[in-house]
Structure 1
């Protein structure tokens, strides 16, 4: 009987130690939109053209932003839009009704 209680206690201690090991120093999590593109970089839509035809997921939008060197990105639905002021640091990905990217441009 004593053997089982010692084994249980040992298993509990090992579980606690394993949990503490995961709390050690690690790289801080980056929020969405905090990729490797320089902050304040001017957009070059040519780098984002690979996204055309892909689903407009957050991951695709962020990679397109980084490849274009843009400071920010937005997804715009196909059709007439309530325009915003032109921003040379912004990538705009236009998506169709199914969410596929149909165009990548700066502004």
Structure 2
């Protein structure tokens, strides 16, 4: 019983950590071609958005670059659910609306 719980806890932690992908590059450049990953989010494909002003056009460009099916902009203090969605891209912005972080979930 304990081994089963430990195994499930390890799997849960691994799943959460897999979703913690952030971009570290703020270099300017064109958006990469869409990834071919069956609609799953690949945050590195949207790293180009970091440091830019968030907009609907940037969100769509980042969504396509990451290969994700859906995308959203998360502002400070926005209420979000804790479920992980591997098909969703998140653009986290600061108070001024500038993208500070890109991740999947």
TM-score range (shorter-chain normalised) is: 0.5 to 0.7
Distance 1:42 1:97 in 2: 28
Native 8 Å contact 2:43 2:102 kept in 1: yes
Quote the Cα distance in structure 1 between the aligned partners of 2:89 and 2:96: 20
Match of residue 90 from structure 1: 88
Check whether the contact 2:35–2:45 (CA below 8 A) recurs between aligned residues. no
Identify which range, 40-49 or 65-74, moves more after superposition.
40-49
> Which structure exhibits the higher relative contact order, with contacts defined as CA atoms closer than 8 Å and separated by 6 or more residues?
2
**Map of 2:8 onto structure 1:** none
Structure exhibiting the larger radius of gyration computed from Cα positions: 1
Q: Contact 1:45/1:104 (CA < 8 Å) preserved in 2?
A: yes
Matches within 5 A, 1:1-107: 41-79=39-77, 81-107=79-105
Cα gap change, 1:80 to 1:61, in 2 (>3 Å): closer
Is the partner of 1:103 in helix, strand or coil?
A: strand
Greater than 4 Å deviation, 4+ residue runs? none
Please state whether the residue corresponding to 2:64 is helix, strand or coil.
Answer: helix
In angstroms, what is the RMSD of aligned CA positions? 2.1
Q: How does the TM-score come out when normalised to structure 1?
A: 0.60
What secondary structure is seen at the aligned counterpart in 1 of 2:91? strand
Tell me by how many angstroms 1:85 deviates: 1.5
What 5-or-longer segments of structure 2 have no aligned partner? 1-33
Q: TM-score, normalised by structure 2?
A: 0.61
